[in-house]
């Protein structure tokens, strides 16, 4: 396990077979900024491990920082170009609502658990 901190977000990275599991945690709620570098940082981590399938565990977020959705879409596109995937699990109902409002629930569906995300349950028609 490794830990990275970017723009007020702590990222705990665990490597599994064919997947990287990244637990995103607000280091300090007051410190969280619009995460302009989170896609780049997660891409860099993925590239260093030569694993392009990521599960983001986001169960500690009550709300999403400004700009987070754009960063996740950018990361998803980069991973897809390498035959990879981005899956999300543990979003609060409020965060899921943001996905719905941005019309991203099909592209970035929320999974209940890390296992569900890896299995791709509820992934019908999303292209992931």
pLDDT at residue 99, as a whole number:
83
Q: What is the mean pLDDT of residues 90-112?
A: 87
Digit-coded pLDDT (tens) for 10-59? 899 999 989 999 999 887 655 455 566 889 999 999 999 999 999 999 99
Q: Which of 2-16, 53-67, 74-88, 109-123 has maximum average pLDDT? A: 74-88
Which value, in Å, is the radius of gyration of the alpha carbons in the chain? 13
For β-strands 53-57 and 85-89, DSSP reports them as parallel
Class of the CATH domain delimited by 2-119 = alpha beta
Domain ranges of the chain: 2-119
Residue 116 CB coordination number (10 Å): 17
pTM over 0.85: no
Residue 48 CB coordination number (10 Å): 11
């Amino acid at each position: 396990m490794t830990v990275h901190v970017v723009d007020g977000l702590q990222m705990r990275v665990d490597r599994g077979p064919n997947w990287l599991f990244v637990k995103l945690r607000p280091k300090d709620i007051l410190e969280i900024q619009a995460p302009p570098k989170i896609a780049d940082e997660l891409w860099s981590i993925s590239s260093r491990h030569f694993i392009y399938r990521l599960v983001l565990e986001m169960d500690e977020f009550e709300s999403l920082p400004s700009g987070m959705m754009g960063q996740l879409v950018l990361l998803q596109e980069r991973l897809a170009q390498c035959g990879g995937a981005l899956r999300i699990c543990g979003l609060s109902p409020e965060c899921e609502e943001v996905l719905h409002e941005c019309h991203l629930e099909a592209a970035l569906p929320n999974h209940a658990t890390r296992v569900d995300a890896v299995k791709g349950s509820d992934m019908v028609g999303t292209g992931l």
